[in-house]
Amino acid sequence: MNGVIPPEHLGRETDGVAKPPRGRAACGIPAFRPLRPPRGVPARTARVGREPAAAQMSATPASPAMPSRPTEAVGIARAFVAGARPRTLPAAVVPVAVGVAVAHAEGQVIWWRAVLALVVSLAMQIGTNYANDYSDGVRGADAARVGPQRLVGGGLASPRAVKLAAMLTFGIGAAAGLALAFATTLWLVAIGAACIAAGWLYTGGPKPYGYLGLGELFVFVFFGLVAVTGTAYVSAGRVGTLAVLAGIPVGLLAVALLVVNNLRDIPGDRAVQKRTLAVLLGDRRTRMLYGACVLGAFCALSGVAPTRPACLLALAALLAAARPLRLVARGATGGELIAALVATGALQLVFGALFTAGIAW
């Protein structure tokens, strides 16, 4: 570079001495000069490439948001809660409450056993509901229905997942039942196995008894007589006539819940050759059966009243029975029968609470 410093390398002079070049200039690289926009082009437009990332993104249309995994998990959990059919759970709670009241009336209640009896009852009910959902779903019996969507039939969950839910729920009930059996008698193991088999074979297996018009009979036996007497036995260590008589009205109201449910489903069940008792009896006689079950539960109080007269408190539940009886008697169909189903569940709870209080009093 012949000893002459190019003008661009010159810095300020101090005392007539030029500062040595630094940075890019020291290497002979021309100093960086920012580009200037051409004439007539606004400076802001020329700097568009240097806009902040947020500003550039705002000009780009947003892509549709994909559902997050937590949101999907919440949706699946809600579907399985609905699949447990909470409206049917009074059929599991009421017989345990009545059985505990019978045990109290006969002298004692071992409370930890009563709690386990409730776990067993709820697990059998929920497990049966999942098993019914699975079996009807794989058979195509839930393809056309009026009520809430089922897990398998509605495509809300895979058959494998629903089957697993049924098995896990039955497993919880079996574990609680085994604890009760070891604390009382091993005969409870056979009774528990029969309960699980009844829950699964209601609509499962090669010849489901629910398709043969026998569902109501099994509900009366297992959610009436067996549940009440079994709870009384494990809670007090013995079972007598009072427990059997108390199981009759409880079983009749559990049957009424199933009858009104199947009354609603007659058109869909008939279309898929599902021969429930409601399909076999027809619409009119099924409505008569519903009324007989509800009113029969109140009549059955006469069997308990001689030894526990305060049980007649349950007659006050006739007020709660008026609405579902009226809906069914006037010929309600489809969605209206869902209201009758909900009202029947409420009737079970009211009747059960008053009946329990009357027996324990």
CA distance linking residue 262 with residue 238, whole number of Å: 36
Share of the chain above pLDDT 70, in %: 79
pLDDT band at residue 144 under the 50/70/90 scheme: low
Secondary structure of residue 74 in the 3-state scheme: helix
* Helical pair 187-201 and 227-236, crossing angle rounded to 10 deg: 150
The more confidently predicted of residues 189 and 2 is: 189
Pair 220, 185: CB distance under 8 Å:
no
Confidence at residue 236, expressed as pLDDT on a 0 to 100 scale: 92
pLDDT band at residue 147 under the 50/70/90 scheme: low
- Flag whether pLDDT at 215 surpasses 70: yes
Residue (of 99, 270, 277, 149) closest to 202 by Cα position? 277
Confidence at residue 302, expressed as pLDDT on a 0 to 100 scale: 97
DSSP type of residue 142: T
Confidence at residue 16, expressed as pLDDT on a 0 to 100 scale: 43
Confidence at residue 36, expressed as pLDDT on a 0 to 100 scale: 53
The more confidently predicted of residues 14 and 100 is: 100
Compute the CA torsion angle 353, 358, 360, 361 (nearest 10 deg): 130
Secondary structure of residue 333 in the 3-state scheme: coil
The domains found in the chain, sorted by start residue, are 89-360 (1.10.600)
Confidence at residue 44, expressed as pLDDT on a 0 to 100 scale: 46
- Residue 53 tokens read as 């990332």
- Flag whether pLDDT at 198 surpasses 80: yes
CA distance linking residue 326 with residue 330, whole number of Å: 6
- The CA distances from residue 294 to 49, 185, 264, 349, in Å, are 78, 34, 17, 13
The more confidently predicted of residues 113 and 141 is: 113
pTM of the model: 0.78
Q: How far is CA 110 from the centre of its chain?
A: 30
Secondary structure of residue 18 in the 3-state scheme: strand
The beta strands (E) that lie in the chain are given as 13-14, 17-18
Confidence at residue 272, expressed as pLDDT on a 0 to 100 scale: 83
Confidence at residue 268, expressed as pLDDT on a 0 to 100 scale: 86
CA distance linking residue 119 with residue 165, whole number of Å: 16
**13: which strand partners?**
18
The conformational region for residue 107 under phi > 0 = left, psi -120 to 50 = alpha, else beta, is left
223-257 tens-digit pLDDT: 999 999 999 999 998 889 999 999 999 999 999 99
- Residue 94 tokens read as 């009421």
pLDDT band at residue 4 under the 50/70/90 scheme: very low
Secondary structure of residue 17 in the 3-state scheme: strand
